[in-house]
Amino acid sequence: MSGQKQDDAEHPVAKSDTGQEWDDPLDELAFRRAEALKQGGEAAIERQHGGGRLTVRERIAALTDAGSFREVGSLAGSGTYDAENRLVSVTPAPYVAGFARIDGRPVALGGEDFTVRGGTTFGSQRRKGGQGGFVEDLAWHYRIPLVNLIDGAGGSVTSIRKRGHSVFPGVHGFERSVSLLGAVPVASAVLGTAAGGPAGRAILSHFSVMVRGRSQIFAAGPPVVKRSLGMEIDKEALGGAAVAVDAAGTIHNAADTEEEAFAQIRRFLSYLPSNVWEAPPVLPADDPADRRDEGLASAVPHKRTQPYDMRKLLKLVIDRDSGFEICPTNGKPLITLLARLGGRPVGIVANNPMVYGGAMDAAAARKQVHFMELCDTFHLPIVFFVDVPGFMVGEKAEREGTLREGMRAVFAAGRLKVPTLTLVIRKCYGMAGMATCNKNDIDLKLAWPSAEWGSLPVQGGVAAAFARDIRAAPDPAAREREIEAEFAAYASPFRSAEAFAVEEIIDPRETRPVLCEFVELAERRQRIELGPRLRGGVQP
Partner 1 sequence: MADHEIAADVTGTVWKIVRQAGEAVAEGEAIMILESMKMEIPIEAPAAGRLAELRVAEGDPVAEGDIVCVVTA
Binding site for partner 1 (CB under 8 A): 305-307, 332, 353-357, 359, 389, 392-394, 396, 459
CB of 360 to partner 1, least distance (A): 11
Give the distance between the most distant pair of CA atoms in the chain.
Answer: 108
CB of 389 to partner 1, least distance (A): 7
User: What are the CA-CA distances from residue 335 to residues 309, 324, 464 (Å)?
Assistant: 11, 10, 32
Distance CA 201, CA 152 (A): 11
Nearer to partner 1, 366 or 415 (CB): 366
**Cβ contacts of 230 within 8 Å, gap of 6 or more:** none
Sheet holding 70-71, edge to edge: 70-71, 95-102, 105-112, 146-150, 186-190, 207-211, 253-255
Q: Which helix (H) or strand (E) holds 366?
A: helix 362-377
Decide: helix, strand or coil at residue 360.
strand
Distance CA 102, CA 269 (A): 8
Half-sphere exposure of 360 (CA within 13 A, CB side): 33
CB of 219 to partner 1, least distance (A): 23
Q: Are 518 and 346 in contact (CB under 8 A)?
A: no
CB of 450 to partner 1, least distance (A): 15
Q: Which helix (H) or strand (E) holds 476?
A: helix 476-490
CB of 434 to partner 1, least distance (A): 19
**Cβ contacts of 289 within 8 Å, gap of 6 or more:** 341, 342, 512, 513, 516, 517, 520
Nearer to partner 1, 1 or 247 (CB): 247
CB of 334 to partner 1, least distance (A): 13
Nearer to partner 1, 85 or 306 (CB): 306
**How does DSSP classify residue 295?**
G
Dihedral angle sign, alpha carbons of residues 397, 246, 368, 288:
negative
Task: Determine how β-strand 443-447 pairs with β-strand 334-341.
Answer: unpaired
Distance CA 112, CA 102 (A): 20
Q: Which helix (H) or strand (E) holds 341?
A: strand 334-341
Distance CA 299, CA 286 (A): 24
Nearer to partner 1, 226 or 396 (CB): 396
CB of 207 to partner 1, least distance (A): 24
CB of 482 to partner 1, least distance (A): 20
Nearer to partner 1, 280 or 331 (CB): 331
Nearer to partner 1, 193 or 330 (CB): 330
Nearer to partner 1, 251 or 397 (CB): 397
Task: Determine how β-strand 87-92 pairs with β-strand 77-81.
Answer: antiparallel
Nearer to partner 1, 87 or 299 (CB): 299
CB of 473 to partner 1, least distance (A): 24
Distance CA 345, CA 485 (A): 43
Reference 446, options 519, 538, 375; nearest CA is: 519
Q: Are 189 and 110 in contact (CB under 8 A)?
A: no
CB of 190 to partner 1, least distance (A): 23
CB of 234 to partner 1, least distance (A): 20
Nearer to partner 1, 366 or 417 (CB): 366
Nearer to partner 1, 178 or 393 (CB): 393
Nearer to partner 1, 360 or 383 (CB): 360
Distance CA 335, CA 359 (A): 12
